[in-house]
Amino acid sequence: MKEDIVHLHGNTSDLIIQTHPVVEILYWGDNISGVETNAIQAIKRAIPNGRLDVDTPMTISPEQGRGVFSSPGMEGHRQGLDWSPVFEFKTIQQNGNNLLITTEDQNAGLRLVCELNLDPKTDVLQLRHTLTNLKSETYQVDRLAVTLPLPERAEELMAFHGRWVREFQPHRLKVKHGGYQQENRRGRTSHEYFPGFMQGTSGFSEQQGEVWGFHLAWSGNHRLRTDVKTDGRRFVQAEALYFSGEMTLAEGESLSTPWVYAAYSAHGLNGMSHAFHQFIRQQIVHFPDNKPRPVHLNTWEGIYFDHNPEYIMQMASRAAELGVERFIIDDGWFKGRNNDLAALGDWYLDTKKYPNGLEPVVAHVRNLGMEFGIWVEPEMINPDSDLFRAHPDWLLAVEGYQQPTGRYQYVLDLQKPQVFDYLLKRLDSLLSSYDVAYVKWDMNREIVQPGHDGYAALDGQTKALYDLLDELRSRHPKVEFESCASGGGRIDFEILKRTHRFWTSDNNDALERQHIQRGMSYFFPPEVMGAHIGGRHCHCTRRSHSIGFRGLTALFGHMGVELDPVKESAEERAGFTRYIALHKQLRSLLHSGKVVRIDHHDPALQINGVIAQDQSSAVFLLSQLAMPTYTLSGCARFAGLDPNKNYRLKVLDHPASLRTGGVMKKLPQWLEEELTLSGAWLAKAGIALPVMDPESALLIRLDAV
């Protein structure tokens, strides 16, 4: 093989990159061999008439100066100069599948270093760029993106839109010309645009088609785009989005892009999810202990701001009876916090509500054998707070402007050392004073005019948040953190490096959750997806669901309950107990296995499951989301099992109405007696489905015999 070609081998995917004469990714896709011959010559592009006389390579950071007319990899200038750099290859260091490629433009005085790794275990491709200013005059960076090429056939895009209480809603479009761009300027990862999408061959599905998935691991503003060049070539760009003047580099200073994580799958979206899930498990999330994810009870929808320690202790006792393992007191515990109008910033216990301190509550929870958790929202401040009265200048804002509040609050400027130190001290004191195992870290507003010393500073704010979390984690390594931002407003890989769970959505409506959780499952494994059983009447939608549908929907995440167990009926409590027990019975499988989403012809039925990595067992959930489209629902076919093994099929839970509702005269056989079927049969022929009522679900288990 010629020296200027590097071939990285993953488990199922490969990447081939050329370093000379320019640094360009030539291939990223299915495993490939034969590169040793003249293969690279075979893909050398033609030079057509009617345009530039030379080939215009899409280098790792495409350059206008090489004749690339699409979006360049970086934009910036030095007082108007050095605005069109062309980076020449300097060096490459290779360590296994890790590459460090250095390029430079000596005229412009800029160095661009690309770090790239194709993880041989999971096939996740990880990369970022670092730009360094080599001249004495300041360099102004307007954009710095990671660019990845895509083959021409990847013409369908699946991206996400969303909003509060409706996160991770997928949408699809064919990108034939021009492109698609999504921008988030809300100051947090956002409900609106998850910083990730996937692109693939036409009609790619859960189980079929080629798929390339991308995620920008960043909790601030971002821009993601996919483009079709007029010559048919395609590329994806992902970057942190900077405000005007936000990024200036003095001599010798560097700026790194966030990490981009990408994965190729030859077998639909499931293959991509498998890669991301395994990568998260191995390299992103770090649980303090290797213990099962404890079942939660979170007090928010149960009591809101109405904190009474005696009553909370009763709730805890009831929670323990249900099988709850971690009890979390949500918003309302600190000084003056009786509603959402006041007190954010005053991180001292409200001694009016807790005259005997928090200790008796913590002790009670601990004596019941549960862990204790607590809610905070450190980045925020209410104008009606002692902190604001003392330090009105601590805001992340631009002086001379009145910025709008959000949920009656402003944002603190974490880059001010006094602010950072104050928060660190208060949080450190909270975690040192009480036996706290878990912190629900919330962030409930969007950021307008993020100014620090007059300059745009959202990037700095995001990094300061990471620093604050990192410092707290180093002081309290046993404490787990949840990333919450009005539900799922801050869900990304970079925050997950320093947290252990996401609050997926403020919406506990099981039907909505089916969609939200499926959307989230493309990138995130079940063990980091907070999923709670809410009350029968959902607080967000005022819709009602049976305990069966609520319980089974929450089962496939990191489970919890979000209600007041004291007020619930005996029947409901029996339901919580049942689904908590079922979750505990299955969680080692759910939290380690391979997530599969099944292609089914009728969108009214959603099928998802988890298969043990060794294919010895699996659970599948059949969720009837709407009225079946046809009188019969056809067969469900379960992909991913070992075709050569036989599996015993057992129904673990089904809607009561299945037997009593009068929808069917005769049930499918497997609902009457246990059947044993081969993995091949289950994948190809499957099992005939019952007719189910809308908003009900059925759980089956398959065990190899």
Catalytic residue among 82, 492, 506, 509: 506
444 is a contact residue toward ligand GLA (CB under 6 A): yes
Which listed residue (350, 442, 459, 480) binds ligand GLA by CB under 6 A? 442
Q: Is 568 in the site for ligand GLA (CB under 6 A)?
A: no
CA–CA separation, 171 and 18 (whole Å): 35
What 3-state class would DSSP assign to 351? coil
Q: Of the candidates 561, 589, 508, 587, which has an alpha carbon nearest to the alpha carbon of residue 323?
A: 561
Asked if 123 interacts with ligand GLA (CB under 6 A), we say: no
* Distance from C-alpha of 193 to C-alpha of 197, rounded to nearest angstrom: 10
Q: Is 467 a catalytic residue?
A: no
Question: What region does 236 belong to: left with phi over 0, alpha with psi -120 to 50, or beta?
Answer: beta
Nearest CB to ligand GLA, comparing residues 538 and 639:
538
Return the range that interacts with ligand GLA (CB under 6 A); candidates 16-24, 378-386, 479-487, 604-612: 479-487
**Phi and psi at residue 571, to the nearest 5°:** -65, -45
Distance (Å, whole) CA 356 – CA 598: 53
Contact call for residue 486 and ligand GLA (CB under 6 A): yes
CB atoms within 10 A of CB 54: 9
Please report, as a single letter, which amino acid is at residue 412: L
Distance CA 107, CA 102 (A): 16
Query: Of 85-93, 177-185, 260-268, 481-489, which part binds ligand GLA (CB under 6 A)?
Result: 481-489
Helix (H) or strand (E) holding 511: helix 510-521
Nearest approach, Cβ of residue 340 and ligand GLA (Å):
6
Distance CA 291, CA 288 (A): 9
Q: Which stretch binds ligand GLA (CB under 6 A): 382-390, 450-458, 484-492, 654-662?
A: 484-492
Token pair 């309302």: residue: 332
- Cβ proximity to ligand GLA, 115 vs 340, nearer residue: 340
Of 685, 682, 684, 673, which is closest to residue 702 (Cα–Cα)? 682
CB distance 198 to 150 below 8 Å: no
Q: How far is the CB of 425 from ligand GLA (least distance, A)?
A: 23
Q: What is the DSSP string of 448-495?
A: SS-EETTEE-HHHHHHHHHHHHHHHHHH-TT-EEEE-BTTBSS-SHHH
Residue in 123, 442, 492, 509 annotated catalytic? 442
Q: What share of the chain is helix, strand, coil (3-state, %, to 5)?
A: 20, 35, 45
Binder of ligand GLA out of 209, 373, 378, 487 (CB under 6 A):
487
- For the bound state, the minimum distance from the C-beta of residue 506 to ligand GLA, rounded and expressed in Å, comes to 5
Query: Closer to ligand GLA at the Cβ: 258 or 332?
Result: 332
Asked if 446 touches ligand GLA (CB under 6 A), the answer is no
- Residue 301 CB, shortest distance to ligand GLA, in Å, is 8
Q: Which positions from 265 to 304 touch ligand GLA by CB under 6 A, shown as an x/- string?
A: -----------------------------------x----
**Chain centre to alpha carbon of residue 108:** 38
Residue 89 or 354: the one with the smaller Cβ distance to ligand GLA is 354
535 touches 576 (CB < 8 A): no
Q: For this structure, is 506 an active site residue?
A: yes
| Position among 27, 197, 503, 523 found at the interface with ligand GLA (CB under 6 A) | 503
The residue of the chain with the least Cβ separation from ligand GLA equals: 331
What are the structure tokens assigned to 684, written together?
A: 């190809």
Q: Report the first-to-last Cα separation within the chain, whole angstroms.
A: 48
Does residue number 506 form part of the binding site for ligand GLA (CB under 6 A)? yes
- Binding ligand GLA (rule: CB under 6 A), the pick from 119, 123, 227, 330 is 330
Q: How far is the CB of 533 from ligand GLA (least distance, A)?
A: 14
- What is the CB neighbour count within 10 angstroms for residue 669? 10
Residues 359-378 that bind ligand GLA (CB under 6 A): 375
- Residues with catalytic function: 442, 506
Contact set with ligand GLA (CB under 6 A): 300, 330-331, 375, 442, 444, 484, 486-487, 503, 506
